[in-house]
A and B are shown apart, each in its own frame.
Chain A
Amino acid sequence: MSNVANIVTVARREYQSRVRARSFLVGTALLVLSVVAIAMVPIIVQAISGSGAQRVAVWDGAGDIGGSPAATLDSLLNAPTGGGTSAGGQATTGDFSVRAVTDLDAERRAVDKGEDTAVLALARGPSGDLAFTLYTNESSTGRVAQLIRQAVSAVVIADRLARLNVAPADQARIFAPADFSVAWADPARTEATQSSADQGASYFLGFGMTILIFMMIILYGQWVAASVVEEKSSRVMEVILNAATPFQLLTGKVAGVGGVALTQYLAILAAGLVALAAQGPVAGLLLGAGTAASSLPQGLTPGLLGLLVVYGVLGFLLYAVLFAGAGSLVSRQEDVNQVVTPMTLVATAGYMVGVYSATGLLDIRAGWLTFLGQVPFLSPFLMLSRVTSGQAAPWEVPLSIVLMAVTLVACLWLAARLYAVGVLLYGQRPGARTIWRLLRHGM
């Protein structure tokens, strides 16, 4: 029987028996649900905590302020944070709904009943300056009070300038933002610098993708090992060994479990995309129209997704064939953990370094990290965060992929050989010397 046909037969059995298992269905359903839940939590929290906007009333007791203080406060309170100094045309956040009222006492009662968040009373003090009082049941140092305090100072300054007879046009010039820019320290770098939001997104991306790859390798790698041991302990191995070669069994098994992993990841990915797409409509339904919906994380380009797939698949194959080879050396499920420990340790170390460098605990620009990124067993954990943070030199990605592919071929050969001698070993777990002797001389 040809190699490919038997590999497909083995992979197919492995895939079908796993995908149909109740534990797999329940596990995948839970993962999908949790992905959807995570995507929906912010909206639900907002919906539960009532309408998003803080209702603030303004009572003007001075009467001589140019323009409507309520309108000024509305635009100041709803200005987006961070980019607040840039030129107009900005979308408003809609966090606050501000209106003018004429009856202060009635409004104070309304605030007390919880109908509104606060009422701001403004009046002229003895010095001629504006004086403000915020009536609210919320904390005096809370977020609402702080934001109103900041907004109010702008109102006061505008009022003082007006009383100094500075024309409104001149006032605008006074408040115009300074010309300020940030550039790379390295003169050779010309691309745009990252904002803290971008950098946060790249940390998040590198971190998230490293976790995904780590989970795929450890979780499904252990499945491969457990599945090999299951065939040994149920003695099916000898039956199928008459029909298929160890190499066919090994590759088929790894391919089958890999397919299961891809199925689960695709289900989660699909759920995530649907949830993201549904965020807008759901938010509209729960919170009213015009609410902003979040989109894909910034920086998640198709190219990056492609790299995630390449490193994920290569990394999984690399580890899975070794997990299979190791699994073939023991005959009881209890011994699996012990025999796969070397691989788990290397993967965990790679994962830790990957996460530390992605989140900035380790300096990702260090030379030794560039080197580690090229070590085939560590590349899957390190390279993605190097790419998202923009630290990967152009040669790093292709070289690491080639090195992984070459190592994969070597590991496949080694694992098939281990498998060939291991599958007929029963009883005591063989020591390193026995394994070495068997590898050299066969069985």
Chain B
Amino acid sequence: MSSVASATGGRLVIEGLRKRFGAVQALDGVSFEVRAGEIFGFLGSNGAGKTTTMRIVLGFLQADGGTITWDGRPAHAWPRRTWGYMPEERGLYLRMEVLEQLVFFAALYGVPRRQARAQALEWLARFRIAEYANRKAETLSKGNQQKVQYIATILHGPQVLIMDEPFTGLDPVNAAQLREALLELRDQGRTIVFSTHQLSTAEELCDSVAIIDHGRLVIAGSTREVRRSTGNQVVRVATDGGADAEWLGALPGVTVTRRGADYTELRVAAGGNPQAVLRAAVERGRDVLRFEVADPSLEEVFVERVGALVSEDHTLAAPVGAR
């Protein structure tokens, strides 16, 4: 098995990536770093440049400018089996048997057929679809096809896994299975980069994230840093008096973001002190039933820095030049 990039120096470094399709500047100087052995979320609306970035990293597209290195060497200098790629549009040979095509994909990366076969059967069993090994892919449900696709992506043991919207279209059970599998790969030392517009999934899973918008990097860093990047804080309050939203909204530097029967959520603007909210509650003579200070969610950060997330799923890739 190929050695995983050293934990100290191993980094996927993307530096000043530029790409133009006709009149559209798809990428305009995108730079970020992914540390080896972490799960990295690549966030952005449709058309932000996520797929283009991934395709350039994998060498399908030529950048107009910029460099990509993995563990100190240019990305294209690494053997193909270094990389695993799961495109947004799932692709299987529909009229080919599942096991046979898994062996085919692995063989293209140089995995001996016998070994590929044994490993594929193991994975199929793990995902509880072993009975479909000799069925044609077209007879499988969408969810099971996705599992086959996932196995095809990792069967050759890539160091870096690049996945374009892997959670789109998965039901909750399958999504949980995929999350589990990604965490396990991470624990084995593999590096995983995936794009998504499900910000809650990214928040739950990713060690680091990058937000990209209209071909420009908005922010990148550890998930915690990014969540704290606005300086805002989130406070969740519930008192015995009820109707908290009215008096809370009147406090300086505070915006009510959620009025619930159970609790009220506030945003405390950068520089404000959440403890002031608690003091105000006590001063009003109320019993505080709940008081919680948290970092803003990625979604809040995203909305604040980029605007509302355009999140409708697109099923067809856009024509040339649209990304």
* B81 located at the interface, meaning its Cβ lies under 8 Å from any Cβ of chain A in the complex: yes
Minimum CB distance partner of B86 in chain A: A239
Knowing A243-B105, A427-B319, A427-B320, the reply to whether A17 touches B83 (Cβ < 8 A) is: no
With both chains docked as a complex, state the minimum distance between the C-beta of A164 and any C-beta of chain B, in angstroms: 86
Residues in A with CB closer than 8 Å to B86 are 239
In contact, A424 and B55 (Cβ under 8 angstroms): yes
Residues in A with CB closer than 8 Å to B286 are none
In contact, B62 and A443 (Cβ under 8 angstroms): yes
In contact, A1 and B109 (Cβ under 8 angstroms): yes
* B270 located at the interface, meaning its Cβ lies under 8 Å from any Cβ of chain A in the complex: no
With both chains docked as a complex, state the minimum distance between the C-beta of B17 and any C-beta of chain A, in angstroms: 15
With both chains docked as a complex, state the minimum distance between the C-beta of A407 and any C-beta of chain B, in angstroms: 28
With both chains docked as a complex, state the minimum distance between the C-beta of A255 and any C-beta of chain B, in angstroms: 15
Residues facing B in A403-428 (CB within 8 A) are 424-428
Residues in A with CB closer than 8 Å to B110 are 1, 5
In contact, B79 and A238 (Cβ under 8 angstroms): no
Give the interface size bracket for B toward A.
35 or more
Knowing A235-B90, A242-B58, the reply to whether A17 touches B108 (Cβ < 8 A) is: no
Bound Cα distance from A426 to B91, whole angstroms: 14
Residues in B with CB closer than 8 Å to A237 are 91
Contact with A along B194-207 (1 / 0, CB 8 A): 00000000000000
* A291 located at the interface, meaning its Cβ lies under 8 Å from any Cβ of chain B in the complex: no
Contact with B along A235-254 (1 / 0, CB 8 A): 11111111110000000000
* B42 located at the interface, meaning its Cβ lies under 8 Å from any Cβ of chain A in the complex: no
In contact, B60 and A425 (Cβ under 8 angstroms): no
Residues in B with CB closer than 8 Å to A5 are 110
In contact, B81 and A1 (Cβ under 8 angstroms): yes
- Most A CB contacts (10 A, CB to CB) among B61, B105, B153 go to B105
Residues in A with CB closer than 8 Å to B80 are 1, 242-244
Residues facing B in A224-278 (CB within 8 A) are 231, 234-244
In contact, A424 and B89 (Cβ under 8 angstroms): no
In contact, A238 and B60 (Cβ under 8 angstroms): yes
Bound Cα distance from A10 to B93, whole angstroms: 13
Residues in B with CB closer than 8 Å to A1 are 79-81, 108-110
* B84 located at the interface, meaning its Cβ lies under 8 Å from any Cβ of chain A in the complex: yes
* A9 located at the interface, meaning its Cβ lies under 8 Å from any Cβ of chain B in the complex: yes
With both chains docked as a complex, state the minimum distance between the C-beta of B100 and any C-beta of chain A, in angstroms: 8
Knowing A13-B104, A243-B105, the reply to whether A430 touches B320 (Cβ < 8 A) is: yes
Knowing A9-B107, A239-B85, A427-B316, the reply to whether A443 touches B95 (Cβ < 8 A) is: no
Contact with A along B280-323 (1 / 0, CB 8 A): 00000000000000000000000000000000000011111000
In contact, A240 and B320 (Cβ under 8 angstroms): no
Residues in B with CB closer than 8 Å to A427 are 316-320
Residues in B with CB closer than 8 Å to A13 are 96, 104
Bound Cα distance from A21 to B93, whole angstroms: 14
* B92 located at the interface, meaning its Cβ lies under 8 Å from any Cβ of chain A in the complex: yes
Bound Cα distance from A6 to B79, whole angstroms: 13
Minimum CB distance partner of B149 in chain A: A239
Residues in B with CB closer than 8 Å to A200 are none
In contact, A443 and B319 (Cβ under 8 angstroms): no
Bound Cα distance from A231 to B55, whole angstroms: 18
In contact, A236 and B109 (Cβ under 8 angstroms): no
Binding site for A on B (CB under 8 A): 55, 58, 60-62, 79-81, 83-87, 89-96, 104-105, 107-110, 149, 152-153, 156, 316-320
Q: Can you list 12 A-B contacts with CB-CB less than 8 angstroms, sorted by A residue number?
A: A1-B81, A1-B109, A13-B96, A231-B91, A234-B94, A238-B89, A239-B153, A240-B108, A242-B80, A424-B55, A426-B318, A430-B320
